[in-house]
Amino acid sequence: MSSENHPDGYLRYQRRPIPDRDPAERTGDHREIYAPEWSEQQLREQATRCMDCGVPTCTAGCPIGNLIPDWNDLVSRGDWHNALDRLHGTNNFPEFTGYACPAPCEDACTLAYNDSPVTIKNMERAIVDRGWDEGWIMPQPPARRTGCHVALVGSGPAGLAAAQQLNRAGHRVSIFERDDAPGGLVRYGLPEFKFAKWRLDRRIEQLEAEGIRFHTGTELGRDMTLEALRREHDAVGLTIGAQHPRDVSIPGRELEGVVFAMPYLTRSNRLQAGRPAPAEPHAAGRSVVVLGGGDTGADCVATALRQGAEQVIQIGINEKPPIHRPATNPWPLPLRIYRQSYAQKEGGEERFSINSLAFLDEDGDGRVDMLEAERVQWIRDQAGRRVDREVLEDGLRLPADLVLIAAGFARPETDDLGAPELAIAGDGTIATDESMATSISDVFAGGDAAMGHSLLVWAIGEGRDLARSIDIHLQGESALPPSLRTRNRPLRADGWPSLQGAG
């Protein structure tokens, strides 16, 4: 059933993804939104839709250069074990991406040009699910130790990927994490129903069995100094993420009930994990306004629906994206069109081009109860920045006893690291050179901390390259493979990697 044997697979089979659970049913619990079962026959048929293009634009569209046509071919033959090896060759944690990646690879699939793309993300999920089910994914401790010790600060996907790669290269690795459990945003950002935490725990167990040491509840700048870390280790990697939130500075911001998305999502994730959590913020019985049209906003909407919110309105400041690919966003770039989020499929209301003006406390009890806003038409400069507005509808008043600010993340939290000599780039990220070295010798940085808030797949790629850079620093050379992520490829003006030289 390979694409070689079935070059017409895409003509014989329509795209048929593994379905999600029915929205009406899934909002009644916090279990994953995905249908738990998939059919092997269906997946193998779907894999034959891959044409094994001479220039695999899917691979070029994947920030870590996943060898997508190879796995599709192997899956179509039923050779799941080799497919898993190929998958792990570029990605330490394919379940992170197989379940939660927005899959720019599918936008870049040749079939996406005038048909429906191959179900690449499903394929990734199915391969790694099968690997775990069959017991093929085992700890891989290194055959020999180099005698070098590396400290990583921050245990999100970048830190975890860097740790696994460095450990496999033979270095002793310790991860220091301020939270009470490792995983970064995968642990306390992504809701349980988007990525179940037992999947993360299973990976942490694998890493521990490989010899990686985790020190949770340990914050750089509070519980230890960078100087001490450098003294005790041969190299330090900073993978602290970029969780400093963007605020919405309008009158009433100080009112009770106007909160950032992360404390809200963290509380919910802690409750789902049976860990101690504060009483607030919660959405039960409340009118919730989510400020921010992105993924974090969607996760807030879906969480509020599960908590029994009275109503949930998600507000985007920008215009509603177009329904079809505009000429300014040509294939194979990631699609910038309107796609209804999984959360909006579950309920709630979505509004675009809304400019928030003030949070109001009409009954004077110190708690927000209304959002005042206007609907606008933005006037933008040549770079696309909002410079002015035409008001289309003023005096909008939206009931709001809980406002969740999900306006994105500005930069890493570097203020309290206690390392003033650490150079910071103009955009607030930790400044690094091409080898991911910071301004402090033996200290490197990667992931969102160095590239700004991004996606799981970029963070994994950053972690892999951070490991390679540190390995070269310690040993003069490295057998660890580089990823295909941004730093090895020219960037386009819109921030996505150029397809030049890929494939």
Ligand X SMILES: Cc1cc2nc3c(=O)[nH]c(=O)nc-3n(C[C@H](O)[C@H](O)[C@H](O)COP(=O)(O)OP(=O)(O)OC[C@H]3O[C@@H](n4cnc5c(N)ncnc54)[C@H](O)[C@@H]3O)c2cc1C
Where does this chain bind ligand X (CB under 6 A)? 100-101, 153-159, 176-179, 184-186, 189-190, 219-221, 239-241, 243, 265, 295-296, 299, 413, 417, 447-449, 453-457, 459
State in angstroms the smallest separation of the CB of 327 from ligand X.
Answer: 27
Beta carbon nearer to ligand X, 9 or 463: 463
State in angstroms the smallest separation of the CB of 414 from ligand X.
Answer: 8
State in angstroms the smallest separation of the CB of 179 from ligand X.
Answer: 5
The C-alpha R_g of the chain, in whole angstroms, comes to: 23
Instruction: Please give the structure tokens belonging to residue 380.
Output: 């933008």
Distance CA 247, CA 407 (A): 7
Contacts of 423 by beta carbon, 8 Å cutoff, 6+ apart: 430, 431, 438, 439
Among candidate residues 386, 325, 311, 309, the one with its CA nearest the CA of residue 354: 386
Place of tokens 């509070």: 222
Beta carbon nearer to ligand X, 62 or 190: 190
Beta carbon nearer to ligand X, 131 or 241: 241
Question: What is the residue type of 186?
Answer: V
Instruction: Please give the structure tokens belonging to residue 140.
Output: 């891989």
Instruction: Please give the structure tokens belonging to residue 106.
Output: 């599918």
State in angstroms the smallest separation of the CB of 463 from ligand X.
Answer: 7
Beta carbon nearer to ligand X, 231 or 324: 231
Buried b (16+ CB within 10 A) or exposed e, 410-424: bbbbbeebebeebeb
Sequence length of the chain is 503
State in angstroms the smallest separation of the CB of 157 from ligand X.
Answer: 5
State in angstroms the smallest separation of the CB of 458 from ligand X.
Answer: 7
Beta carbon nearer to ligand X, 119 or 239: 239
Beta carbon nearer to ligand X, 259 or 396: 259
Q: Hey, is 484 helix, strand or coil?
A: coil
Distance CA 211, CA 373 (A): 54
Beta carbon nearer to ligand X, 112 or 455: 455
State in angstroms the smallest separation of the CB of 194 from ligand X.
Answer: 6
Q: Please check whether residue 454 is in contact with residue 487, taking contact to mean a CB–CB distance below 8 angstroms.
A: no
Distance CA 307, CA 300 (A): 10
DSSP state of 310: S
Q: Hey, is 152 helix, strand or coil?
A: strand
Contacts of 301 by beta carbon, 8 Å cutoff, 6+ apart: 288, 290, 312, 314, 341, 343, 344, 346, 348
State in angstroms the smallest separation of the CB of 373 from ligand X.
Answer: 23
State in angstroms the smallest separation of the CB of 67 from ligand X.
Answer: 19
Beta carbon nearer to ligand X, 303 or 353: 303
Beta carbon nearer to ligand X, 112 or 220: 220
Beta carbon nearer to ligand X, 27 or 269: 269
Q: Hey, is 215 helix, strand or coil?
A: strand
Distance CA 153, CA 384 (A): 36
Phi, psi of 392 (to 5 degrees): -95, -30
The HSE-up count of residue 216 (CA atoms within 13 Å, CB side) is 10
Among candidate residues 143, 59, 127, 47, the one with its CA nearest the CA of residue 93: 127
State in angstroms the smallest separation of the CB of 415 from ligand X.
Answer: 10
Instruction: Please give the structure tokens belonging to residue 56.
Output: 């695999």
State in angstroms the smallest separation of the CB of 201 from ligand X.
Answer: 15
Q: Hey, is 479 helix, strand or coil?
A: coil
Beta carbon nearer to ligand X, 131 or 154: 154
Q: Hey, is 118 helix, strand or coil?
A: coil
